Amino acid sequence: MSRDPILKDQWEQIQTKLSSQFSDGEPMDLDAILFLIGVQELGQIHRNYKKDQKLELLHIAICKVLEPYGYYKFDYVDEEGWPHYTVEKPLPPLKAGEQSVLMKESIVNYFLSSGFIE
């Protein structure tokens, strides 16, 4: 990510804004930000989640942010309000650093499209 200064700056903007709102300024990592996206997409903000539900929230977030890239497609919302996605194409084999860049780029695009950052 250091090769793309714009992406790096946008990622830091997201981290700073979310960290000040949700973690008393303590820097939030990628998983914490994905968790927030999952909660946002589920729309059930003020509730406690079990461990398996937290993993599902991460899955929802990953599907949502990678949907514009053609990897996932929204399918339906179940009777409990949980969104479900189908796999459209498999993720390419990526090294850990490349995965991180893809996720950060997709999260930046998610927050750009929502108007959270500019």
24-46: per-residue pLDDT in tens?
Answer: 878 899 999 999 999 999 998 88
Tens digit of each residue's pLDDT (9 = 90 or more) over 36-85: 999 999 998 888 999 999 999 999 999 999 999 999 999 999 999 999 99
Radius of gyration of the chain (CA): 14
For residue 79 the two structure tokens come to 């009777």
Mean pLDDT of 100-111: 96
Residue predicted with more confidence, 27 or 110: 110
Return d(Cα 61, Cα 107) in angstroms, integer: 9
Contacts of 28 (CB under 8 A, 6+ apart): 15, 18, 19, 22, 36
Q: Is the pTM of this model over 0.85?
A: yes
Find the distance separating the first CA and the last CA of the chain, reported in whole Å. Answer: 19
